Amino acid sequence: MYALAQPRTDDPLAGLLLAVLAAVLFAVGAVLQHEAAELSRTARGLSLRRLIKRRRWMLGQSATVLGTVTQVVALAVAPVAVVQPILAVTLVMSLAFRAVRNRTAPLRLELVGAALTTGGLAVFLLAAEPESSAGHGPPSSLEVIFAVALSLSLVLAATLLGHGAHGALACGGVAGIAAGIAAVLISVGVRSLQENGWAKALAGVTVWGAVLVALIAIVAGQQAYARGALAWSLPALIVLDPLAAIPAAWLLLGEQLEPGSAGIWVPAALVAAVGVVVLARTGQPHVAEESGPAPDESGRAVPA
């Protein structure tokens, strides 16, 4: 964490590598949390008592926390528009991890989706040339509060849709929007820390706003995993994360993409988004049947 307090020097390559590592950790966390949430559902919805007793949920949470820390470090050394799109690799990694756990070989369509996602992202980053704006001032407290309120309102609205594909898609989408906004606020908070030190940064609203929006995104993601298949919730989360983060970074941080190459990076981004959807729709995750007695409402006899 000491490194976060040093003056910012943009290093897109380091940020890219850290973002890939974060994507791997997020993928492991997403698959484990989805499995745990699926196994913790009751007729009345998700049972938190069952959920927190499962080892795979705790391991998934640990992987997600480590991924978040890695993402924060990436945002400290590279623009948001470099870090957040790379996190789309999470879906490629999650499907690979799921294939290993289920002992199944990747389908041909999955390989096509992976190629579209990674190829589209590579072209996007090379053509868009994301860069930070040194002369852009920090967002106001009112702007930060508005971002927090917007994230919370979207999540509350999505949770009203119930279970099934629509509920999973909606919760996954708003989780992605909240995650994108949180990434921008984290970047603002890191800049404040680097420029003003810990005391002043923690006294402002940006750091705490980033923490709150990140927690909102986690809650929305957990609801999405419990409301339907990962094939619905995860692509919505992954696609809408950078779609929310890039304009938010432009508004709050002044980050810019190369406008002269928009004819290249816009189609490339669309290709990557198509790849994400292809990957997500190639198959439904299956949670293996667990041995042992089913847990009752008190949470006893809960398997891993």
> In 45-132, which ranges are E strands?
45-46
Give the start-to-end residue ranges of the domains of the chain.
Answer: 10-281
Q: Which of 2-6, 81-85, 201-205 has the weakest average pLDDT?
A: 2-6
Of 49-63, 95-109, 191-205, give the range with the top mean pLDDT. 49-63
Cα 20–Cα 114–Cα 286 angle in degrees, nearest 5: 95
Q: Say how far apart CA 286 and CA 35 lie, in whole Å.
A: 8
* pLDDT bracket for residue 293 (50, 70, 90): very low
For residue 304, pLDDT over 70 is answered with no
Helix (H, G, I), strand (E, B) or coil at 256: strand
The two tokens of residue 244 are 């929310």
**What is the DSSP secondary-structure string of 8-47?**
P---HHHHHHHHHHHHHHHHHHHHHHHHHHHHTEETTEE-
Counting Cα atoms < 13 Å in the Cβ hemisphere of 238 gives: 31
Instruction: Give the N- to C-terminal CA distance of the chain in Å, as an integer.
Output: 33
pTM: 0.68
pLDDT in tens, 83-137: 888 877 777 787 778 778 777 777 788 788 888 888 888 888 778 776 666 666 6
Selection from 234, 241, 247 nearest residue 276 by Cα: 234
